[in-house]
Structure formats: C-alpha cells, structure tokens
C-alpha cells in the first residue's frame, strides 16, 4: 500500500508534477498488481471520486512513460499495469483463468536469457528478455485433473466463498 507522502515523493523523483489523479492512479496500481484499466478506474475512484476515464488513461500513460508503472499485455489479454518495476521479473499466465503471477528473474539479472542463432552473432545488443510462462495455475490444474480423472463424479466442485464474511452453512440434518 502506498501512502500519499510516498506517492508524492515517487512522482517528484520521476520528475512529474504531483496531481490528485496521478496520486490516485499510482495508489491504485500499487494496491492491485496486474489490474486492468477498468479495475484501476474503479480502484482510483475510491480514492478520488470525480475521476474521469480520460484522467485515468492520461495518468497511466504518464506513469508508464516515466517508469513508475509497468504495462504488460499477455497475448489475448487487455493491458495490465503493475508497480513492481525495474527488477526484470517475469510472469506466469494461466491459460484457463487468465490469472497472472509474478516470478523473479530466472537467472537474477537482465536479460535473463541469451538469444539463439542467428541473433547471437548479429551484433544485436540485448538488454532485456520479457518472458511469459504459459500454463495452468495450481487451482486450474487441480480442477482439470478432477474433471479428467473422475468419470462418475457426483460431488459438486469445491468453491471458495467470495464474501469476506460468509454466512454459516445452512445444512439440515435429515436423519
């Protein structure tokens, strides 16, 4: 979580003018890793109510251009934004649910990977490799295993309550 003072210092250190929309959007990106623009509009509006879509787009562009925010866009996904910048981390992307998880730089320093032939001999100076690992997250892999592994399964899938305070189960004993 980014408090207002830290947000102001970050904007100034990046040479940016401190404005309320920029503070609200930067705070929202810090609070919601890999959020979409729509999610950030909602989150930023909880901090600054009269915030237009255009103001959020403008703030995201400025924050991304200045390096305070990183924009990623896995294939098939809308753009996502994150505040974890400059550490050359990579992403695990779930093909089933679209969930995105950070993973550290594989070898600990950019560019993390060396290109194969013929790029290694072409005089190309590589400074970054942006790696997306595709597959299934743990929950989706488990669900897939259950679906394919059970032929006569009758039990409903386990679901996690979405509410913070789920009501107690209303199960009746019948015997």
Q: Where do contacts with Zn ion occur on this chain (CB under 5 A)?
A: 82, 94, 96-97, 99, 102, 137, 140
Nearer to Zn ion, 24 or 100 (CB): 100
In angstroms, give the least distance from the CB of 38 to Zn ion. Answer: 18
In angstroms, give the least distance from the CB of 61 to Zn ion. Answer: 19
Q: Identify whether the C-beta of residue 166 lies closer than 8 Å to the C-beta of residue 127.
A: no
Task: Give Cα separations from 84 to 32, 69, 139, 164 (angstroms).
Answer: 11, 7, 24, 27
In angstroms, give the least distance from the CB of 119 to Zn ion. Answer: 25
Nearer to Zn ion, 102 or 130 (CB): 102
In angstroms, give the least distance from the CB of 173 to Zn ion. Answer: 36
Nearer to Zn ion, 97 or 107 (CB): 97
Q: Which phi-psi region, left, alpha or beta, contains residue 165 (left: φ > 0; alpha: ψ -120 to 50)?
A: beta
In angstroms, give the least distance from the CB of 88 to Zn ion. Answer: 11
Sign of CA dihedral 97, 99, 105, 111: positive
Q: Which residues pair with 90 in a beta bridge?
A: 103
Nearer to Zn ion, 14 or 33 (CB): 33
Nearer to Zn ion, 6 or 139 (CB): 139
Strands (E), the chain: 35-36, 70-72, 80-82, 90-94, 100-103, 132-135
Q: Which two tokens stand for residue 54?
A: 């255009």
Residue 69 CB-half CA count within 13 A: 33
Q: Which of 15, 12, 14, 11 is nearest to 25 (CA)?
A: 11
């Amino acid at each position: 979580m980014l408090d207002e003072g830290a947000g102001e210092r970050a904007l100034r250190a990046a040479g940016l003018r401190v404005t309320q929309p920029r503070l609200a959007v930067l705070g929202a990106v810090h609070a919601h890793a890999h959020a979409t623009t729509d999610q950030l509009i909602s989150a930023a509006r909880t901090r600054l109510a009269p915030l237009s879509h255009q103001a959020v787009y403008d703030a995201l562009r400025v924050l991304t251009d200045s390096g305070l925010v990183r924009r990623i866009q896995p294939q098939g996904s809308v753009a996502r934004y994150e505040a974890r910048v400059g550490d050359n981390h990579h992403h695990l992307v779930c093909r089933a649910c679209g969930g995105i998880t950070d993973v550290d730089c594989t070898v600990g320093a950019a560019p993390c990977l060396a290109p194969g032939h013929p790029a290694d001999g072409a005089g190309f100076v590589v400074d970054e490799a942006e790696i997306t690992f595709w597959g299934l997250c743990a929950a989706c892999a488990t669900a897939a295993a259950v679906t394919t592994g059970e032929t006569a399964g009758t039990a409903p899938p386990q679901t996690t309550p979405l509410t913070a305070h789920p009501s107690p189960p209303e199960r009746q004993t019948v015997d």
